[in-house]
Structures are given as C-alpha cells and as structure tokens.
Amino acid sequence: MDKKWDERYKNPEFAYGREPNLFFKEWLPKFTPGSILMPADGEGRNGVFAARLGWQVTSFDQSREGRQKALLLALEQQVSIGYIVGDLEQLTFESASFDAIGLIYAHFSAARKAAFHKKLDGYLKPGGIIIFEAFSKRHLHFRQLDPKVGGPGDMDELYSEAEITADFKNYEILLLTEEEVILNEGTYHVGKGAVIRFVGRKAT
C-alpha cells in the first residue's frame, strides 16, 4: 500500500472535500443507474454521490484510511457502497461486470497508464460509460505557479487527448476536451489548473 495516501487521509478533514467532483456531478445523472466501478475513490466523495443517485457502487483505493472515511461518509448520507483496499494490479473482476466507470483524478505511472486503462476497459460492459477527469500535461505549468492546486509533478503521469483516444479507441466520444478550471476541492485541489475531460460509450 502507498503510505502517502494513508497519511493524507488519516486527518479528520476530507482531503478533497465531501462534495463530488463537479464534472462527475454534471455527467453521471445523464445515465440510467446500474453498477459503477470507482477506481482511486479515496475518501469516497464520488462513490457516495453515485450511490445517492441509485448506482450500485464498487470503490477501491490503496488506502485503508480512505476506506474508513468513505464508509463513514456513506453512513452519513444514508447509502451503502462496496469498498476494496488494494492495488489495481491485484484487483480482479469478471469481464464486462460494470455499466459505468468513474475515473476522477486516477493518475498512474507512465509505465502503467495504458495497461491499467485496458484492464478497466475489460471490466466495462459493451455500451457502458466512462466518465474521466484528470490533470492534463499543461497542468504542470499551473502546478509550478501554485503548488496548492495539486496533481502529479511528473509530466508522464499527466494526460493528453491523444493518450485518451489511443487508450479508449473503441469508444464513441460523447465529450473530449482540455480545459482550464478553477478547482476548490478540499485542501489539495485549490486554484487554477488544466484538465482533460472525457465521456465515452464503449462500442457494442
């Protein structure tokens, strides 16, 4: 497990706030609830939001501290979520298990990004939806100006539109854009940054 995330999440405050990511909040209600996989769900703000909309949620993350806070948040919101602690490399589901995947600031090393996306694609049903937001390569400039905006400091862990289209080439693109945004998510995403936003439907 990555102790960095346990250290970040063990504080009583929610590192990225209790409210869902705004892009995820905008797009998820457009689709009929079913089963959704939430990788890197941290303290559960997005998974709990999905559960409130009627989705059957399976979250996972590397942090036991994150899981504890996510389950507490779910209890406060009077919903339930499944939450697995582990690394994506060890995680296994049956093929085509989920109707949707929420990838919100799920940054991976350059060596593992494409392989992880391929693995997650295998878990998504034909016709299933991916909702994705993460920092773009241009974000490094904003992070250097103001570290409070957060995000990886390694260019290779950041995303480009070309990477997304390559990793999810069998998808109908409902939205793919790079945008500058003002983030106000808890303590660690505060300020101006650059993100890639993608919504795709897997080919049937």
pLDDT digits (tens, 9 = 90+) for 13-46: 999 999 999 999 999 999 999 999 999 999 999 9
Q: How far apart are CA 52 and CA 45, in angstroms?
A: 11
Q: How far apart are CA 83 and CA 70, in angstroms?
A: 8
Q: How far apart are CA 185 and CA 46, in angstroms?
A: 12
pLDDT tens column, 158-200 = 999 999 999 999 999 999 999 999 999 999 999 999 999 999 9
> Which of 23, 80, 32 lies closest to 52, judged by CA?
80
CATH architecture assigned to 3-202:
3-Layer(aba) Sandwich (3.40)
- Domain positions in the chain: 3-202
Please give the model's pTM, rounded to 2 decimal places.
Answer: 0.96
